């Protein structure tokens, strides 16, 4: 009888935890959908406001700056002062940014709008990732994969919706996405309820005593490993910035496709990224995150080096393969880092999400100016070498918690 009760209780806990993971993934999906709608709408905004590639790069830089610099700070805040309303505050900020962008008539209004959108993202990413760590009950790779696949799925849907709504009807239809942001606020209710009953009790206990010294590495080894992870984040997100911000322009200029067609092809790349993310976490749980990180980044290099010389058909195929392979790297890197410093999950989440966004933002600004001076094809030939930096993952120690 007792055994049956324990099993029933265990099944209930597992189903509740899985439900929370999917709710967090849904929150990530909505957030990244809004972000990618903005990026995919750059051609429309450029045409409406007569902007240069350099100005588009500045807009992308400001957005990435707001979405990166504040993330580690918010991560520290969330670790020290947990609150169930942080996710809702982040979504509200994004909603305001979308409303401003719908009515933007100058580059200055666009910059203000992306500031709000970036701040919303800088709140949602570290907080949702932190909650995912606690809700995954030990299977952190699987938990982060479920969380990350929501973001990648949202990121892939964004350009598709931009192609169907923004490109044919105009910038003012950003208001539709502001309305979707209101819906996303309502979907966070299960998370706030779970937070109230679970995370408050967890915060009142002493989690540091439970997790300290879980990894068999010295302090110097931990810092050394974090340095390697930073190099990998750099290589991944410089190359990702070239695809997420300028892939549509590259396709339009090189192959003379329409803006709408280029957005559909961007959707194919981003959807492949979502599929790859879902596979990376469980594989990392089973075989080790080091190997997932190494294969994900370095394994992209042959395809990235070929893509600048391919025709339209093979460019599409190669971009899908790149998205499929490269996408599993970030969740593996994040969980690896969280296992290095398991008492500072919010800080690590904010730091690595912030670095990812910050590197992508600086890269977008630099690559935009390079595209203006040397052409968009030169950007892709140069960035194709970035995944080769993935070889440094071989120097990462195997992290095996006690």
Query: Residue 360's closest CA among 67, 41, 71?
Result: 67
The separation between the first and the last C-alpha atoms of the chain, rounded to the nearest angstrom, is 33
* Position 14 confidence tier, pLDDT thresholds 50, 70, 90: low
Q: What are 401's strand-pairing partners? A: 215
CB 123 within 8 A of CB 89: yes
Residues 364-395 have pLDDT tens digits of: 778 888 888 888 889 889 999 999 999 998 88
Domains of the chain with bracketed CATH: 17-395 (1.20.1250.20)
- What would the DSSP string read from start to end of 300-347? THHHHHHGGGS-HHHHHHHHHHHHHHHTHHHHHHHHHHHHHSTT-HHH
How much is the pLDDT for 214? 52
Residues 179-204 have pLDDT tens digits of: 999 999 888 888 888 887 776 555 44
Query: Residue 399's closest CA among 137, 127, 140, 134?
Result: 140
Residues 295-315 have pLDDT tens digits of: 889 999 999 999 999 999 999
How much is the pLDDT for 134? 79
In terms of C-beta density within 10 A (0-12 exposed, 13-18 middle, 19 or more buried), how is residue 275 classed?
A: middle
Q: How far apart are CA 245 and CA 226, in angstroms?
A: 27
How much is the pLDDT for 360? 76
Tell whether the model's pLDDT for residue 97 goes beyond 80. yes
* Percent of the chain whose predicted confidence (pLDDT) is above 90: 20
Residues 6+ apart with CB under 8 A from 187: 23, 26, 27, 30
């Amino acid at each position: 009888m007792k055994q049956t009760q324990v099993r029933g209780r265990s099944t209930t806990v597992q189903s509740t935890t899985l439900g929370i993971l999917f709710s967090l993934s849904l929150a990530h999906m909505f957030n990244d959908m809004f972000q990618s709608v903005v990026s995919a709408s750059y051609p429309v905004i450029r045409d409406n406001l007569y902007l240069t590639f350099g100005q588009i790069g500045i807009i992308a830089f400001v957005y990435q700056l707001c979405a990166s610099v504040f993330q580690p700070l918010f991560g520290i805040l969330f670790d020290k002062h947990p609150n169930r309303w942080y996710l809702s505050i982040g979504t509200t900020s994004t909603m305001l940014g979308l409303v401003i962008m719908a009515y933007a008539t100058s580059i200055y209004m666009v910059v203000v709008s992306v500031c709000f959108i970036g701040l919303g993202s800088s709140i949602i990413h570290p907080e949702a990732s932190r909650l995912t760590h606690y809700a995954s009950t030990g299977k952190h790779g699987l938990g982060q994969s479920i969380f990350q696949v929501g973001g990648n799925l949202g990121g892939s849907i964004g350009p598709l919706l931009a192609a169907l709504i923004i490109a044919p009807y105009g910038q003012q239809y950003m208001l539709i996405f502001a309305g979707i942001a209101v819906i996303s606020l309502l979907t966070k209710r299960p998370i706030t309820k779970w937070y109230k009953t679970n995370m408050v009790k967890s915060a009142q206990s002493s989690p540091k005593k439970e997790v300290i010294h879980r990894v068999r590495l010295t302090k110097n080894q931990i810092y050394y490993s974090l340095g390697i992870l930073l190099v990998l984040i750099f290589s991944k997100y410089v190359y990702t910035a070239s695809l997420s911000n300028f892939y549509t322009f590259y396709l339009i200029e090189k192959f003379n496709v329409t803006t709408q067609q280029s957005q559909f092809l961007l959707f194919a790349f981003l959807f492949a990224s979502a599929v790859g993310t879902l596979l990376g976490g469980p594989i990392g749980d089973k075989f080790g995150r080091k190997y997932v990180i190494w294969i994900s980044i370095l394994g992209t290099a042959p395809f990235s080096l070929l893509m600048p010389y391919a025709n339209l058909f093979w460019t599409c195929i190669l971009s899908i393969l790149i998205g499929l392979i490269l996408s599993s790297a970030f969740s593996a890197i994040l969980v690896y880092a969280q296992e290095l410093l398991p008492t500072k999950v919010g800080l690590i989440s904010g730091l690595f999400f912030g670095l990812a966004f910050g590197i992508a933002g600086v890269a977008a600004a630099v690559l935009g100016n390079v595209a203006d001076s040397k052409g968009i094809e030169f950007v892709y030939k140069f960035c194709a070498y970035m995944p080769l930096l993935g070889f440094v993952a071989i120097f990462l120690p195997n992290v095996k918690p006690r």
